[in-house]
């Protein structure tokens, strides 16, 4: 399709595979085989089985009546928060671990920020009996103690990374370095970032989200196409999944919501689409937050899952070509949106997902517009943040 990467892994001028020689062989094998494996009846059957019986899919598409009334449109929430382990991350973890197994890999390595991807990966590794090592910044290990405990309970090894700012970007750096030294391991990227073919693999595996939305809208509204699909973006995996089967339906407005932190006029944010410049990070060319010296800048967001200085190449392309609209939600706007959906619909969202909800007051709808917000995860992990911010 029109929005697939080209032969060299490019979406327009974004993407590619900037990788050290040590990884060339493994990545080109993966590039050669991934589509054939993902499209094989054996893979499709096992993936569908596990999504249904292990992850709990299809996730409901919930018509939110009180949010609808407030914003003057037909607002739906795609309930990825109801998946096993609490977010959309499990879709990708299941898919890539099946892919890794098919490629003959038995050791899975992954990075994690908030710990959600680490937990999803450790979960599926436990289920399928694979060795699992998770790299996590020491600051995040501290901040996300509960998720670290989950990973350990699931039998994974958690490596605390103390270099740099000791957060997500540093964890990715160290995980990449391990991979270069051990190319036989499978690096399970948690978002639609990294060298080709990872952004495409992640988008395809998460595309079950938009596949279900189409079906569910047909059942509930008598038409497959919404007017808006709104998703928050960290690296871009939940957005890629929610957009995928609508990319070529130009009537569907795709809205990407970035983490504005304390506001984009300063430096404390993670808005790489709005404020980034072209460059290379973690194996691909995209829009990245650099400082004056040309070093990758330490991003900031209240949400650990959106706190990344880059963005997937597909997303940079969608923004550049105008196929998507880019909005920014600050910490404050996300917190207000989190409280609002909690009290209007009885759903406490992940603070990441609250950024997507914060787009609602920023858009102008017509009364019969169908608006789908991808509720990427649940708020259990964010209760300490809500407790602190709201003085509960
Ligand atoms: C990880 C995470 C995100 C951000 O990652 P994407 O790859 O941009 O989707 C968003 N929401 C939740 C709940 C997450 O756990």
Helix axes 41-50, 89-102, angle to 10 degrees: 140
Q: Is 229 helix (H, G, I), strand (E, B) or coil?
A: strand
Q: Which atom of ligand 1 is nearest to the CA of 191?
A: 7
Query: Could you list the pLDDT tens digit for every one of the 392 residues in the chain?
Result: 899 999 999 999 999 999 999 999 999 999 999 999 999 999 999 999 999 999 999 999 999 999 999 999 999 999 999 999 999 999 999 999 999 999 999 999 999 988 999 999 999 999 999 999 999 999 989 888 899 999 999 999 999 999 988 988 899 999 999 999 999 999 999 999 999 999 999 999 999 999 999 999 999 999 999 999 999 999 999 999 999 999 999 999 999 999 999 999 999 999 999 999 999 999 999 999 999 999 999 899 999 889 899 999 999 999 999 999 999 999 999 999 999 999 999 999 999 999 999 999 999 999 999 999 999 999 999 999 999 999 99
Ligand 1 touching residue 232 (CB < 6 A): yes
256 lines ligand 1 (CB under 6 A): no
How many Å lie between the centroid of ligand 1 and the Cα of residue 8?
26
- State the closest ligand 1 atom to the C-alpha of 80, by its place in the atom list counted from 1: 13
d(CA 86, CA 84): 5
Q: How far apart are CA 149 and CA 281, in angstroms?
A: 30
Q: Measured from the CB, is residue 87 less than 6 Å from ligand 1? A: yes
d(CA 338, CA 36) in angstroms, rounded, equals 41
Residue partners of 128: CB distance under 8 A and separation at least 6? 97, 101
Q: And the tokens for 269?
A: 């944010």
Whether residue 110 contacts residue 36, with contact meaning beta carbons closer than 8 Å, is answered with no
- Centroid of ligand 1 to alpha carbon of 329 (angstroms): 15
Contacts of 30 (CB under 8 A, 6+ apart): 103, 197
Give the residue numbers annotated as catalytic, written as ranges.
Answer: 89, 111, 376
Radius of gyration (Cα) for the chain, nearest Å? 19
Q: Beta strands 10-11 and 14-15: pairing type? A: antiparallel
Quick check: CB of 374 below 6 Å from ligand 1?
A: no
197: preceding bond cis by omega (within 30 degrees) = yes
């Amino acid at each position: 399709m029109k929005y697939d990467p080209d032969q060299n892994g490019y979406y327009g001028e974004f993407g590619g595979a900037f990788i050290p020689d040590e990884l060339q062989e493994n990545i080109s094998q993966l590039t050669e085989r991934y589509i054939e494996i993902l499209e094989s009846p054996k893979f499709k059957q096992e993936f569908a089985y596990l999504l249904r019986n292990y992850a709990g899919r299809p996730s409901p598409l919930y018509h939110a009546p009180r949010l609808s009334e407030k914003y003057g449109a037909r607002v739906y929430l795609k309930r990825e928060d109801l998946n096993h382990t609490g977010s959309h991350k499990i879709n990708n973890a299941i898919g890539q671990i099946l892919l890794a197994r098919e490629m003959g890999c038995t050791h899975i390595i992954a990075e994690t920020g908030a710990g959600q991807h680490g937990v999803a990966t450790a979960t599926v590794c436990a289920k399928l009996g694979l060795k699992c090592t998770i790299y996590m910044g020491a600051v995040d290990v501290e901040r996300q103690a509960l998720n670290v405990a989950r990973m350990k309970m699931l039998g994974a090894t958690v490596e605390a990374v103390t270099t740099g700012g000791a957060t997500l970007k540093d964890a990715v750096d160290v995980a990449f370095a391990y991979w270069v030294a051990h190319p036989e391991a499978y690096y399970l990227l948690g978002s639609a970032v990294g060298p080709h073919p990872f952004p495409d693999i992640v988008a395809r595996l998460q595309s079950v989200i938009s596949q279900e939305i189409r079906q569910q809208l047909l059942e509930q509204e008598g038409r497959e196409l919404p007017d808006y699909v709104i998703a928050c973006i960290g690296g871009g995996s939940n957005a890629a999944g929610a957009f995928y089967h609508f990319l070529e339906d130009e009537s569907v407005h795709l809205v990407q919501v970035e983490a504005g932190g304390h506001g984009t006029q300063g430096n404390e944010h993670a808005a790489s689409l709005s404020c980034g410049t072209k460059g290379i990070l973690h194996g691909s060319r995209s829009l990245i937050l650099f400082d004056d010296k040309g070093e990758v800048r330490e991003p900031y967001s209240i949400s650990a899952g959106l706190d990344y200085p880059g963005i997937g190449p597909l997303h940079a392309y969608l923004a550049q070509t105008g196929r998507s609209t880019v909005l920014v939600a600050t910490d404050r706007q996300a917190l207000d949106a989190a409280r609002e959906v909690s009290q209007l619909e009885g759903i406490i969202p992940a603070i990441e997902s609250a950024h997507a909800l914060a787009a609602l007051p920023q858009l102008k709808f017509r009364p019969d517009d169908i608006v789908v917000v991808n509720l990427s995860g649940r708020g259990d992990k964010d209760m300490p943040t809500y407790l602190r911010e709201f003085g509960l």
